[in-house]
Amino acid sequence: MGLKIEGEVEKVDGKRLSYTDFVEKYLVQNRPVILTGLMDNWRACKDWVLDNGDPNLPFFSKYFGNSGVQVADCGTKEFTDQKRVEMSVFEFIDQWTQLSATRKDSGTDGNSLLYLKDWHFVKEYPDYVAYSTPKFFCDDWLNLYLDKYPMHNDPDTCQNRNEISCSDYRFVYVGAKGTWTPLHADVFRSYSWSANVCGRKQWYFLPPSQCHLVFDRHMKSSVYNIFEEVCKSKFTGFEEAIWCECTQEQNEIIFVPSGWYHQVHNQEDTVSINHNWFNGHNISWVWDLLLREYHEASEYIEDIKDICDDFEGLCQRNLAANAGMNFYDFFIFMVRFSFANLVLLCNLTSDKKNLSWSSSQVVPHVIFNLKSIQCIALKMKSTGQWENCGVAIDLKKTMEDQTFMEFCNLMARTYGAMYEQSEMKADAKEALLEDMELRFLDFSGSRIGTPEDLVTFIDCALKLS
């Protein structure tokens, strides 16, 4: 039986969509959309595409040929993904060219299709500026944070991830017609956006309310390829699933909401740019997934609990290895993010130089950020995992740290650009601290070690508004 396909994905002119409408219709409702008209002046759209619309493969070889990249062999399966090999961009392009010549000669389709995935292009070529992130996707806590702080620092659990692969979630994908990505939901249950620089993609989506239908009865494994014979006795609900299908053309950007399972097929030779991201609208998805994976990690090693000196530590290390971060990484991320939002709020509400900012939508946005972190902190508190966790972050010390002030400035620039405000002048940190203490609280004693501390801290910070 074929797939039941009923839903459609809206296509909207991005130039006529306001940020507020995007938030209300798509971020808050967690619905996919295709946006047009947002890639007009991208360098990538000129340099990476030939006049006939094909990818400019010689350009990639010539300018980026030495980059080491991950390439998926779309004809193979390894665990829940395609088998990946590492090679240089030069080798990838060379193999692509040879394969397509063989295919032309033999008239067959060849079953080894190589797909370059997850290329951290921006990290590797920061001066090239291939594109600018559309304002709809700029409230990106994940990449903003990773630009200044690593998410997980433990060399034991990070051993298989080299520095660059932990560095950000901004990618380039390059694949010939016929390459594809198996059914999955995104890392951290983040949002993603994907822009077609050239080519065409066919997307198949399943909303979160139906995702149980692609899992086995124990919710352990999910369907890999929705177009292969799916085992009915294992995936008993699969045939009931109602899919949404859409075609994404060149110069179109698709927004993929949190927790939607999707499978993607390149219908032409395609180059795309793709970011994973989260913010106050979907951070609860990140925490919920982390908690689920924590329970799975601890159940998995349950039988050694009695003989293990530091069972909780082991669970957290395994969680970081499986999920890319553990509770502590996530908690530290939330604390730093709250501090930075507080600094922004303090600047916005006290500094006469930032008058136009204080009357802009940046203030409600920052308040929303703090409230959404507070909601997660309340959820974390209720899990009761925080006794003696050994993490305590001091506001005053954090503010003396150069990296943190750079992080605050990056955040100010980001929100300034989103709301079209002139650049905010960051107040000198001593003056800022003094001002905070004078106006509302004794922040100098603020040490955040538990979700409960964070809840209280945010209560105080919100008084600044």
Ligand X SMILES: O=C(O)CCC(=O)C(=O)O
By beta-carbon proximity to ligand X, the closer residue of 275 and 336 is 275
The closest of 394, 397, 386 to 335, measured between CA atoms, is 394
Q: Is 181 in the site for ligand X (CB under 6 A)?
A: yes
Q: Is 272 in the site for ligand X (CB under 6 A)?
A: yes
By beta-carbon proximity to ligand X, the closer residue of 264 and 436 is 264
Q: Is 37 exposed, middle or buried (0-12, 13-18, 19+ CB in 10 A)?
A: middle
By beta-carbon proximity to ligand X, the closer residue of 61 and 274 is 274
Q: Is 269 in the site for ligand X (CB under 6 A)?
A: no
By beta-carbon proximity to ligand X, the closer residue of 271 and 320 is 271
Can you tell me the distance from the alpha carbon of 160 to that of 62, in angstroms, rounded to the nearest whole number? 29
Of all residues in the shown chain, the one whose CB is closest to ligand X is 181
Which of 157, 222, 258, 274 binds ligand X (CB under 6 A)? It is 274
The distance in angstroms from the start CA to the end CA of the chain is: 57
Q: Is 253 in the site for ligand X (CB under 6 A)?
A: no
Under DSSP, the state recorded for 256 is: E
CB of residue 429 to ligand X, shortest distance in Å: 38
Which of these segments, 90-98, 148-156, 256-264, 392-400, binds ligand X (CB under 6 A)? 256-264
Can you tell me the distance from the alpha carbon of 161 to that of 163, in angstroms, rounded to the nearest whole number? 6
CB of residue 205 to ligand X, shortest distance in Å: 10
DSSP state string for 143-197: HHHHTTS-S---TTTTTTS-GGGGT-SEEEEEE-TT-EEEEE--GGG-EEEEEEE
Which backbone phi and psi does 175 adopt, to 5 degrees? -150, 145
Q: Is 192 in the site for ligand X (CB under 6 A)?
A: yes
| Number of helices followed by number of strands (H, E) in the chain | 15, 16
Residue 207-246 contact track with ligand X, rule CB under 6 A, x = bound: ----------------------------------------
Which backbone phi and psi does 353 adopt, to 5 degrees? -65, -20
Three state DSSP letters for 114-145: EEEEEECHHHHCCCCCCCCCCHHHCCCHHHHH
Handedness of CA 426, 430, 433, 435 (dihedral sign): negative
Which of 26, 173, 238, 330 binds ligand X (CB under 6 A)? It is 173
Q: What count of residues does the chain have?
A: 465
Which of these segments, 126-134, 158-166, 186-194, 388-396, binds ligand X (CB under 6 A)? 186-194
Q: Is 48 in the site for ligand X (CB under 6 A)?
A: no
Q: Is 264 in the site for ligand X (CB under 6 A)?
A: yes
CB of residue 426 to ligand X, shortest distance in Å: 34
Q: Is 318 in the site for ligand X (CB under 6 A)?
A: no
By beta-carbon proximity to ligand X, the closer residue of 96 and 415 is 96
Which of 174, 256, 370, 461 binds ligand X (CB under 6 A)? It is 256
Task: Determine the residue type at 139.
Answer: D
Which of 56, 67, 167, 194 binds ligand X (CB under 6 A)? It is 194
CB of residue 334 to ligand X, shortest distance in Å: 24
By beta-carbon proximity to ligand X, the closer residue of 186 and 329 is 186
By beta-carbon proximity to ligand X, the closer residue of 258 and 347 is 258
Can you tell me the distance from the alpha carbon of 124 to that of 133, in angstroms, rounded to the nearest whole number? 17
Binding-site ranges for ligand X (CB under 6 A): 173, 181, 186, 192, 194, 201, 256, 262, 264, 272, 274
